[in-house]
Structure 1
């Protein structure tokens, strides 16, 4: 909290000093009248015990001079994304879309409260905070209050866009000549991703999956569903699997993940999808197969060429997610729900379900990480760690064994009894 201290001077006048602690150090600002001092005290407290942005000690609010070479934010952000290397075309297009739809909402508010267009040089921490709030709130259609012009963004999406924004601003610091001296995104308080009920993942019990699978009448479509839930592969990996990726004749049969379907840029001549590298380096992996899985794919690939897809639609081509979902998966789930199934899983929930089954069987998380192809174990722990309850008995038994028969509580009770 800030305070106001009256300091009489030798000439009989009084200085009103606003005093507060910031990062462990005393900060002060002097005023000749109590009114402005009280207003400044409120500003300091409203800024969480920090100097108000744009306030220069001894001078008041001073608008920063434009940095030579300053450019409109949209132009700088677009130029930054255009020059990125080592990313896929689709990723670049997604970044451009985020700039066009979301980061274009950025505005700069001057110390006097005037809203002006954002440039890479004039953005402040307060401007970033205002942008986060705008993303959280969304924007309703003024002509139709029940409809949205822009829906409220979820915390994860805001964090992803803020990450892009951080990199764009940092590039201005690293530029020659430098266009900024600080990164205004550094201290942004983002919405917590765990402040909402997580309804994204659905985990199926074995009998629940069987109830859905029984409604998939097409045997090729059923085989793909069984493969997805039995391997935990991503849709784009499983449907890109080719005969040459299978090693079925060894003592430890495997499927090798070497490629995956990628979404192409809009208007690409080759179509909406293309075969590319898996999602990450660790997504290139070997997935161990069970005897049942080996028998299933042996039947599917009999007489096929090495580059033929393992899973094929009715006309012999590769499966497309939209077709499979609308024609096979969605009707099967609807039929199962009509018969009493209490869940409505997506296709991707088959991957989550595989993890739940492995955890229930006490398979260690590092092994699950390798099977799923997660780049980091933290991803596996963050996403599925809450399911590791099957080990509770082993954990409590280990703690009990560590204390042994002479646990401290037991000895204290013995002394008290004596």
Structure 2
């Protein structure tokens, strides 16, 4: 650990000395101003002595016209197009909480190298305690920012390009069979049954279904228009656009499900689904008072109606996809229904459930084999 000592010079000025051990010996670096000394101390505590001194040397040799980290990130975020204000706020929070304190708010961007990025990732994991997915998100932002600097010619290469990130373990998807969903819906309170049935039929995300208004339902065509979604920014819920361009979609619904919806006597601007207080559905309240108790009761049942499964709310979206693919709905139709931006996402996530292509391939090979089989050819192992 480094420390700072103040020493009075013969001319009366104050020297700010950073003390540290290097190669087993006591060493020091002196600054005229306390801010530079504090920054070096913090870097040494986080990066280690050698990396901190390398950054300091790089800064002293850096192009004086190179932009500082804070100014460069703010400029990058402000100039982004196609993003919402909440996204800009989140990116600037990354800067304030994760980038500036570690690298230094005014560090020239051209001195941040791959080793510094690697140490930053380790710091997020080992010191801050971020989840692997959170680290991947933060690194992804830094990668995109650095890529913009490469494109502009401010830096020659992207220091994030070869970073090895901790593995992100995707939560295992749960697909409910019809009888399992029937057991679940029986445990759901009557006032919430249509909401849960709508979730599995539409395959919507919770942020989408809770943002639906009465006017989004077309009773004549039995459709639902997904055009907005709730997002969380700074710990508060904000209504915005769906997750992606494809997420803004029109879904076909079964007429019997549309008939269950409470539409009569309501204005087009009313929330389609509301909580017990008449306001927009609160996801946390729904989970704690409706979903979790229902799942817990089923899991405690000796007959095990869920077959050992513990479904999350989001697993109803996965169940929707599995039911469609199980009945031979083309995977590109499933993609549109779920609002995936790319069919690659749908294939990667649910492709293993679509057995039609494999069955067709097996049929082709079987036909070839049957036409090439010689008369009287015995089956291996037959008597």
Where on the TM-score scale, by shorter chain, does this alignment land: which range? 0.7 to 0.9
Aligned pairs (5 A) from 1:203-218: 203-217=175-189
Aligned pairs (5 A) from 1:65-84: 65-84=61-80
Give TM-score, length-normalised by structure 1.
Answer: 0.67
Q: Structure 1, residues 9-40: CA drift from partner, whole Å, max 9, x if none?
A: xxxxxxxxxxxxxxxxxxxxxxxxxxxxxxxx
Q: Is it true that 1:242 corresponds to 2:219 in the alignment? A: no
Select which of 277, 283, 295 maps to 2:247. Answer: 283
**Could you say what secondary structure the match of 1:263 adopts?**
strand
Distance in 1 (CA, whole Å) between partners of 2:155 and 2:58 is: 15
Q: Which has the higher contact order (CA 8 A, sep 6+)?
A: 2
Q: Is it true that 1:202 corresponds to 2:198 in the alignment? A: no
1:221–1:313 contact (8 Å) kept in structure 2 = no
Look up the match of 1:258.
227
Q: Structure 1, residues 154-212: CA drift from partner, whole Å, max 9, x if none?
A: 2x44333222112222333344xx5322222233344455xx4x434222222222222
- Structure 1 pair 274/185, CA: closer, same or farther in 2 (3 Å)? closer
Identify the structure with the greater helix proportion.
Answer: 2
Q: Structure 1, residues 44-69: CA drift from partner, whole Å, max 9, x if none?
A: xxxxxxxxxx9xxxxxxx96831222
Aligned pairs (5 A) from 1:260-409: 260-265=229-234, 272-297=236-261, 300-339=262-301, 340=304, 341=306, 342-389=308-355, 392-401=358-367, 405-406=371-372
Aligned pairs (5 A) from 1:217-236: 217=189, 219-236=190-207
Deviation of 1:402 after TM superposition, in Å, equals 5.1
Q: Pairwise CA RMSD of aligned residues?
A: 3.1
Q: Is it true that 1:95 corresponds to 2:91 in the alignment? A: yes
Distance in 2 (CA, whole Å) between partners of 1:286 and 1:399 is: 40
Q: Structure 1, residues 219-270: CA drift from partner, whole Å, max 9, x if none?
A: 23121111001110111221222222222224xx21111222233556xxxx
Deviation of 1:132 after TM superposition, in Å, equals 3.3
The count of residues paired between Structure 1 and Structure 2 equals 317
- Structure 1 pair 73/390, CA: closer, same or farther in 2 (3 Å)? same
Look up the match of 1:3.
none
393-402 or 285-294, which deviates more: 393-402
1:229–1:353 contact (8 Å) kept in structure 2 = yes
> What are structure 2's unaligned runs of at least 5 residues?
1-50, 52-56, 379-383
